[in-house]
Structure 1
Amino acid sequence: MTLAMKVYQAFDRAIIQEIPTDDGKALEHKLQMAAQAFADKAGWLPTHERMAVLRKTSVLLETNRDRFALMIAREGGKPLPDAIIEVTRAIDGILNAADELRNFGGKEIPMGLTAASANRWAFTTKEPIGVVAAISAFNHPLNLIVHQIAPAIAVGCPVIIKPASTTPISCIELVKLFREAGLDEQWCQTFLTDDNALAEQLATDPRIAFLSFIGSAKIGWYLKSKLPSGTRCALEHGGAAPVIIDRGVDVDRVAASVVKGGYYHAGQVCVSSQRLFVHEDILASFTEAFAAKVTALRVGDPVLKDTEVGPLILPREADRVEAWIKEATEQGATQIGGGRLSETTLRPSILLNPGAETKVSRLEVFGPLTCVYGYSDLDAAINIANSLPFAFQASVFASDIAVALKAARHLDASAVLVNDHTAFRTDWMPFTGRRQSGYGVGGIPWTMEEMADDKMIVFNHVS
């Protein structure tokens, strides 16, 4: 009997669609198909064909922009204006993978530097690493998929993609566009399941050469520990991104930026601005300006064009965030805003000075909440910002260049945004977590490098 998983609208939990799931037999068939495609080197797609497929898919996606944006809003709960931006980024990301192939190659290795290396000519070429297993997350149900499968297709890796069980429709529809663009099935397949054991079986199969995982740190690090010898991986998890706000800044401008960084997609972003360290000289004025903007955010159904904050992905996530807020307020934090609009939808909250041991100060909230802390000593603020076991993106707002440079140098982060919020990202820049926040480097050109091997060829040209 074929099982199905129900896909719900994030906002009102209405059923969108029931999708047949794959079982173990289907997984084995997909793995065999991908492994055979990679083993047949004579059948590898030439670079120009891969470029053509990517370019055509990008055009097809642009034609379907509004349809995909509505899908994202319904299944993922991202407000429609932001969903349109996600599709626009995905269109450009696919083109980015195609364009990167113009410069994706090897290099000459100097020879003749010693007598023993005389009369030799050496150079490297790029080869696909092998079959890629990609396990994705719900929060950007189209663009994350693009970041995982477009690089694989670009470099010539067969890829099997498992979308989040809460948001599979965008992935399914994107893969259909790749088929329409001329890509044969063995080069890009979906694996649809809500069975964690089957997902683990995909990730850890010895035929998989590279695992791309976006999601829970607990699951990602567990899967990495189970990978066969030789299997490479990239893990993208989250953090509790710190923001340092120095005195002397334009309080209104900074508040507007941090509202976007903290409440975009209801805070369900791995680099969402969560912990705001504000200089005591401007703490009162910043908090007033920030609170006014946060409480004015339009919260509701994400398919409406004026919605700014939508739901969390599941009712249990809204329950969790509410419980964390309650813990912090019971221990002395002051709450601004908040409240529950629906089973999955929370109104945005601010917590003032939650305790250092509360969950909101130690863990990734992944909800519409930011925490504001006052500071007087920059070194102390940086030390607290760096005190957690994960690190991803951080930011500093400062008009004093010395403060900006000091924070940029000393914040433990893979990227420090100066006078911008922590959730800023372009799809061609490197994107990587440090320590428990991740492993490997994301970003489309960087992922292409991770999914390729260098092969060196050495000619002995003794005449």
Structure 2
Amino acid sequence: MLKTDFSRMYIDGEWRKGSSDKSMTNKNPFNGEELVTIQSAAKGDLNEAYEAAARAQEKWATELPQNKRAVLEKLVTVMEENKELIIDWLVKEAGSTVMKASVEFQASLNIVKEATGYPYHMEGKIMPSQTPGKENRVYRNPLGVIGIISPWNFPFHLAIRSIAPAIATGNAVVLKPATDTPVTGGLIFASIFEAAGLPKGLLNVVVGRGSEIGDEIVTHPVPRLISFTGSTEVGRHIGELAGRNLKKTALELGGNNALVVLDDADIEQAVESALFGKFYHQGQICMSLNRIFVHKDIYEKFAERFTELAKNLKYGDPADKTTNVGPLINKDQVDRIMKDVKTSVEQGAKIQLGGQADGNVMEPTVLTGVTNKMPIAENEIFGPVAVLIPFDSEEEAVQMVNESPYGLSGSVHSSNIERGTSFAHKIHTGMIHVNDQSVNDEAHMPFGGEKDSGLGRFNGEWVLEEFTTLKWLSVQHTPRDYGPFISQLK
């Protein structure tokens, strides 16, 4: 039976209290209800977790591929059997609407299903040599131990997309979830992997504050790679620490994603894409639309229709299955966004809809008259505020989109597919979608950004490049002639 007492962390196959003198109280962001209190991890707990992972990984690296696959296949079954439990936790801990939590669960399931094939993709190569009688071999091996720091916005999905491929390719994991989502971004995985029969020590979950163990997650000598999803500011710090300690990183960071509506676009289709890409999960997605650029000739018509439909968005209790927009994760996020809205209005932006908040629930908000230099356009919003910006020409739109330091996702609408595709090629971003919105993630497609949006790619065959390493092994089949270096010695 799945363990659901998440008041303890999970180290070397055991549920135990953290040894810090501090504790963390986990609360529902919608109603403030206390969910669980967890004794925090100290550096000693983290060290035990990494040492346990290192011990377990040595055997797991040589485990037969069918046995690795069997654990992941069992994990799929365990997840399906506990779907409602996982969704319930996503709603009450992460502020996910039921719709969003359901989609997040399915995306996570797809990740695990994709990962079941990875044990059989650890292929090598036989290659020719420039030396007579020699054979070159290239082997793909697991890295060893991977440290994972998961975020609070899509905690279940964005944690499992690193855990599953790491385990599947023969690595062990130490996972530190965000303090706002210690269960759905961390402890619940200990429970479901335990039920799936994963050998002890291969997955360890430590719950603690960044101020106590944040840097040590990265600088500890055991992990070979740090996988982090979160803000660019924190990601840059992690990258600096990892680089100083010669560790690899997989960093999926912030975004200032744009939707560009060209003058020949189907306005209704573009409006629907913009509504989903902006307000899905309250805009708390790294891929959410931050800026919506609309050609001046259709700007008024687009803004009118967009605002008309946005008025129908239901916001409030995420447990209500009809709710579109739930709470932000905490009050600090609300205050930050409201400050940017206020400053932008002072600079000339106009509020067409919303602009108020009740607790952590912010009304779906629409701003027009925005310029690309206002804070609500320059900063990553991560909330339910739609920013509509007019443009005169394609060249101007390309310039405004690309002048952001971010480059994660994006989208463009045009009734001419080739025109839209040509425009998409000009945008400096890791992912972009024609006649769709920016929030797309498929388990078999490369996911990642450019510029300040991060390093590396998740999903599909591309994640293998992140979580494995290559070894060159050569075999000299016949005696090698070392030329005059040796002949003159005889």
Which TM-score tier does this pair reach, normalised by the shorter chain?
over 0.9
Corresponding residue to 1:28 among 47, 60, 78: 47
- TM-score normalised by structure 1 residue count: 0.95
Amino acid at match of 2:409: Q
Please give the residue correspondences for 1:123-202 in structure 2 after superposition, counting only pairs within 5 Å.
123-170=137-184, 171-202=186-217
CA 1:85/1:401 → structure 2, altered by over 3 Å: closer, same or farther? closer
TM superposition shift of 1:173: 1.5
| Pair 1:420 & 2:439 matched | no
Contact 2:66 2:119 in 1 (8 A): no
| Pair 1:88 & 2:88 matched | no
Amino acid at match of 1:77: G
Alpha-carbon distance in 2 for matches of 1:455, 1:5: 43
| Pair 1:211 & 2:226 matched | yes
Please give the residue correspondences for 1:311-322 in structure 2 after superposition, counting only pairs within 5 Å.
311-322=327-338
Aligned to 1:389: 405
Aligned to 2:414: 398
CA 1:349/1:53 → structure 2, altered by over 3 Å: closer, same or farther? same
Contact 2:56 2:200 in 1 (8 A): no
Looking at CA atoms only, which structure, 1 or 2, has the larger radius of gyration? 2
Between stretches 194-203 and 321-330, larger displacement belongs to 194-203
CA 1:323/1:43 → structure 2, altered by over 3 Å: closer, same or farther? closer
Alpha-carbon distance in 1 for matches of 2:60, 2:368: 62
| Pair 1:309 & 2:325 matched | yes
TM superposition shift of 1:447: 2.2
Aligned to 2:78: 60
CA 1:444/1:67 → structure 2, altered by over 3 Å: closer, same or farther? farther
Corresponding residue to 1:101 among 119, 130, 134: 119
Contact 1:62 1:88 in 2 (8 A): no
Aligned to 2:5: none
- Secondary structure, counterpart of 1:186 in structure 2: coil
Between stretches 72-81 and 29-38, larger displacement belongs to 29-38
CA 1:191/1:445 → structure 2, altered by over 3 Å: closer, same or farther? farther
TM superposition shift of 1:341: 4.7
Amino acid at match of 1:89: A
Q: How many residues align?
A: 458
TM superposition shift of 1:42: 8.1
Alpha-carbon distance in 2 for matches of 1:223, 1:375: 37
Alpha-carbon distance in 1 for matches of 2:174, 2:54: 11
Q: CA RMSD in A?
A: 1.7
Aligned to 2:24: 5
Alpha-carbon distance in 1 for matches of 2:162, 2:60: 25
TM superposition shift of 1:444: 4.9
CA 1:164/1:414 → structure 2, altered by over 3 Å: closer, same or farther? same
Aligned to 2:339: 323
Between stretches 14-23 and 313-322, larger displacement belongs to 14-23
TM superposition shift of 1:134: 0.4
Corresponding residue to 1:350 among 362, 366, 378: 366
- TM-score normalised by structure 2 residue count: 0.90
Alpha-carbon distance in 2 for matches of 1:83, 1:236: 21
Contact 1:204 1:223 in 2 (8 A): no
- Secondary structure, counterpart of 1:117 in structure 2: coil
Aligned to 1:79: 97
Alpha-carbon distance in 2 for matches of 1:344, 1:63: 32
Contact 1:147 1:444 in 2 (8 A): no
Amino acid at match of 2:141: E
Aligned to 1:226: 241
TM superposition shift of 1:316: 1.2
| Pair 1:458 & 2:474 matched | yes
- Secondary structure, counterpart of 2:474 in structure 1: strand
TM superposition shift of 1:409: 1.7
1:248-271 per-position Cα deviation (integer Å, ceiling 9, x unaligned) = 222112111111001111000111
CA 1:37/1:101 → structure 2, altered by over 3 Å: closer, same or farther? closer
Between stretches 151-160 and 248-257, larger displacement belongs to 248-257
Alpha-carbon distance in 2 for matches of 1:284, 1:440: 39
Please give the residue correspondences for 1:278-297 in structure 2 after superposition, counting only pairs within 5 Å.
278-297=294-313
Contact 1:72 1:78 in 2 (8 A): yes
| Pair 1:276 & 2:292 matched | yes
1:142-177 per-position Cα deviation (integer Å, ceiling 9, x unaligned) = 111101111110111111000111111122112211
- Secondary structure, counterpart of 2:240 in structure 1: helix
TM superposition shift of 1:184: 2.0
| Pair 1:364 & 2:380 matched | yes
Q: Which runs of 5+ in 2 are unaligned?
A: 1-19, 480-490
TM superposition shift of 1:67: 0.9
CA 1:446/1:197 → structure 2, altered by over 3 Å: closer, same or farther? farther
How many percent identity over aligned positions?
28
CA 1:449/1:334 → structure 2, altered by over 3 Å: closer, same or farther? same
1:367-414 per-position Cα deviation (integer Å, ceiling 9, x unaligned) = 001211111211011101101111111111001245313311211111
Alpha-carbon distance in 1 for matches of 2:30, 2:295: 37
Q: Which runs of 5+ in 1 are unaligned?
A: none
Amino acid at match of 1:80: V
Alpha-carbon distance in 1 for matches of 2:323, 2:60: 51
